[in-house]
């Protein structure tokens, strides 16, 4: 009877309960030395208010770590490039520039690929919230001043190219 009780007690202890809990593998994507997966690349065309077309090569931030990291710690962002943030749902988005070393323009884009607002010359290394107060599914970050130089404003449209057309934001 005693052996049966001991066997029952041993069977009720989960496997590995005698081992210490594993350490977290989470790495903060906002740290300067973050070594996470690099973002994919894609291309898009921004149609300006005057009918002009501006093609950009973009890095794609479609997961929480990539969206959190964004363009932090970059010392430059060449003309003709940017980062496209893709979110899982269309809601009012808000950005800050913590650990971002360069000024950026932020283009907020709805699910119909229409620009719903632009923030120009976002000041680097600040935690001021930047938003346009309208729901967006995408946010495009480009070099500071790019939107004014290229006539991009509310009402401009975006054309996603290739695989970006079907790309969805992940939680």
Tell me the per-residue pLDDT of 5-54, one tens digit each, with 9 for 90 and over. 445 545 555 555 566 666 667 778 888 888 888 899 999 999 998 999 99
Which residue in this structure is represented by tokens 């007690």? Answer: 9
Per-residue confidence (pLDDT) for residue 31, from 0 to 100: 87
| Cross-strand pairs, 47 | 53, 157
Please give the pLDDT value at position 135: 98
| pLDDT tens-digit map of 101-148 | 999 999 999 999 999 999 999 999 999 999 999 999 999 999 999 999
pLDDT at 32: 87
In this prediction, residue 12 carries a pLDDT of: 54
Pairing of strands 81-92, 53-61: parallel
- The length of the chain in residues reads 171
Q: What pLDDT was estimated at residue 13?
A: 52
At 171 the pLDDT is 76
Give the domains, in start order, of the chain with CATH numbers: 41-163 (2.60.120.1140)
What confidence tens digit (pLDDT) does each residue in 63-112 have?
999 999 999 999 999 999 999 999 999 999 999 999 999 999 999 999 99
Whole-structure pTM value: 0.84
**Residue 49: DSSP 8-state:** T
User: pLDDT value at position 113?
Assistant: 97
Nearest to 112 by CA among 94, 90, 133: 90
CB proximity list for 79: less than 8 A, separation 6 or greater? 143, 146
Judged against a pLDDT cut of 70, whether residue 1 lies above it is answered with no
47 vs 1 pLDDT, higher one: 47
DSSP code string of 102-144: S-EEEEEE-TTSBEEEEEEEEPTT----B--SSEEEEEEEEET
Q: For residue 164, name the pLDDT band (cuts at 50, 70, 90).
A: very high
Taking Cα atoms as reference points, which of 54, 66, 39, 45 lies closest to residue 165?
Answer: 45
pLDDT of residue 170: 85
């Amino acid at each position: 009877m005693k052996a049966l009780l001991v066997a029952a007690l041993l069977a009720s202890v989960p496997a590995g309960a005698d081992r210490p809990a594993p350490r977290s593998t989470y790495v903060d994507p906002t740290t300067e030395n973050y070594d996470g997966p690099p973002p994919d690349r894609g291309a898009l065309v921004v149609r300006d208010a005057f009918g002009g077309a501006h093609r950009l090569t973009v890095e794609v931030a479609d997961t929480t770590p990539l969206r959190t990291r964004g363009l932090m710690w970059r010392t430059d962002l060449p003309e003709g490039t940017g980062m496209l943030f893709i979110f899982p749902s269309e809601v009012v988005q808000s950005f800050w520039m913590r650990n971002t070393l360069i000024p950026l323009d932020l283009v907020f884009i709805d699910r119909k690929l229409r620009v719903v607002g632009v923030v120009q010359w976002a000041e680097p290394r600040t935690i001021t919230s930047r938003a346009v107060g309208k729901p967006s599914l995408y946010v495009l970050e480009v070099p500071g001043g790019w939107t004014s130089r290229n006539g991009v404003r509310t009402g401009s449209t975006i054309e996603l190219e290739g695989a970006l057309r079907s790309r969805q934001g992940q939680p």
